[in-house]
Amino acid sequence: MDNTYILLATAISFLITFFSTPLFIKIAIKAGLVDDPQKRKHPANTHTGIIPRAGGLPIYCGIFIATSLFIPLNKIMIGILVASTLLLIIGILDDHFDTSPYVRFFLNIVIALVVVLFGIGIPYISNPFSSQVIFLDSWRITVDFFGTHTFLVFANIFAILWIVSITNFVNWSKGVDGQLPGFVAISSFFLGVLAYRFTAHDISTTTVALFAFIVAGAFAGFLPFNYYPQKMMPGYSGGALAGFMLALLSILSWGKLGTLILVLSVPFIDAIYALIRRLVKKKSPFYGDAGHFHHRLLTIGWGKRRIAFFYWFVSLLFGFSSLFLQKTEKILAFILVVCILTGFILIIDKLNVIQHLDNKNLTSAKRRKE
């Protein structure tokens, strides 16, 4: 497979998404797949005006058509396409009806189970502090599903947890115009580059790399319509599809879980912080709020373009770093990001408290004058 073939597949994915998005914008408006802040008073909203949702539709078309044209469809690829189709349907229904997050979470597990039954699993994870690995394939059960398949209990349970987690974590980082498609395209590209170094599952390195570049092309094709001021939102269909694809690519590129965590360090840390914050406040971790990192940046005056570029820059920086850093170095880099981001959040919180007190004192002073 030469570079021309890869460039053509990526370009086709990009062009299909790019040229189909205006059509899907019209379809979304007619079908009522829109986000109106006046009717849907979600605390995480950062936009004004009525914006079409269902960005997953053009992205899915770009990925599905390019994959069908350029990649030989073995059991794993068929499983990915089947599962992504089911996920798109769930996403479109949510974009229209705002389904319960508990229902979405359960269906995420079902979708992850589907791809696992088609052969995707995590047989081992690397020990970041040594050359040894932790094997997860010791307990095996044989099942018949589109042929005989050996179900590696621990390996596949871990894969399901990983896929469901990344699907949701990435979806949470789509609150600002252009934020999600940019860092997803960058992350997919670097996972594709890394895939060339290893052989994974029952699928060739070139197939994994090509699929990663197709995913990158599709999200890049959607970016011009989601960039500020956005003409279409990813919606749950686009956000969930983004996380699902990145989770699968990190597994297929020979278990680059640590690499994905590093490249998605800001969304990953933000998601963990959000879960902890909600549990501490005795709130459901499944319901969204306005406490994500991009919301905090908005409160201190960052514009939406700057926030999107910040997410892209971090993904690009650690994407390049992942090509050269070893396992321990990746862990240290991630710890550094945790420290910096935690400090940044604390500073933002402090500034918000000071601003709140200043506003309160100003209001009190005005009342005294009156």
35-66 core/surface letters (b: 16 or more CB in 10 A; e: else): beeeeeeeeebbbeeebbbbbbbbbbbbbbbb
Residue 178: per-residue pLDDT: 96
Per-residue confidence band for 357, with pLDDT thresholds at 50, 70 and 90: very low
Residue 287 has pLDDT above 80, yes or no: yes
Looking at residue 137, what is its pLDDT? 75
Averaged pLDDT, 245-251? 95
SS3 148: strand
pLDDT in tens, 43-59: 777 878 899 999 999 99
Task: Give the pLDDT band (50/70/90) at residue 128.
Answer: low
Q: Choose the most confident range, by mean pLDDT, from 152-166, 321-335, 345-359.
A: 152-166
Above 70 in pLDDT, residue 365?
A: no
CA dihedral 35, 40, 42, 44 (to 10 degrees): 20
Query: Which one, of 258, 263, 266, 287, lies nearest residue 275 by Cα?
Result: 287
Q: What is the DSSP string of 15-47?
A: HHHHHHHHHHHHHHHHHT-EE-TTT---TT---
List pLDDT tens digits, range 316-344. 999 999 888 887 888 888 888 889 888 88
> Which DSSP string do the residues of 65-77 spell out, in sequence order?
HHHHHHS---HHH
Q: Are 12 and 65 in contact (CB under 8 A)?
A: yes
Domain span at 124: 3-369
Answer whether residue 215 shows pLDDT above 80: yes
What's the domain count of the chain? 1
Q: Picking from 117-121, 212-216, 308-312, which range would have the lowest pLDDT averaged per residue?
A: 117-121
Mean pLDDT of 221-237: 97
The model's confidence at residue 191, banded by pLDDT at 50, 70 and 90, is: very high
Instruction: Tell me the pLDDT of the chain averaged across its residues.
Output: 88
pTM as predicted: 0.91
Q: 């550094």: which residue's tokens?
A: 336
Q: 91 pLDDT exceeds 60?
A: yes
Percent of the chain with pLDDT over 70: 89
Q: Containing H/E element for 171? A: helix 153-171
Amino acid at 267: P
Most confident of 8-17, 136-145, 330-339: 8-17
What pLDDT is recorded for position 130?
Answer: 65
Query: At 131, is the pLDDT very low, low, confident or very high (cuts 50, 70, 90)?
Result: low
Euclidean distance between CA atoms 78 and 287, whole angstroms: 32
More confident residue, 254 or 334: 334
For the chain, the C-alpha Rg in angstroms (whole number) is 21
Instruction: Choose the weakest-confidence range: 116-120, 143-147, 189-193.
Output: 143-147
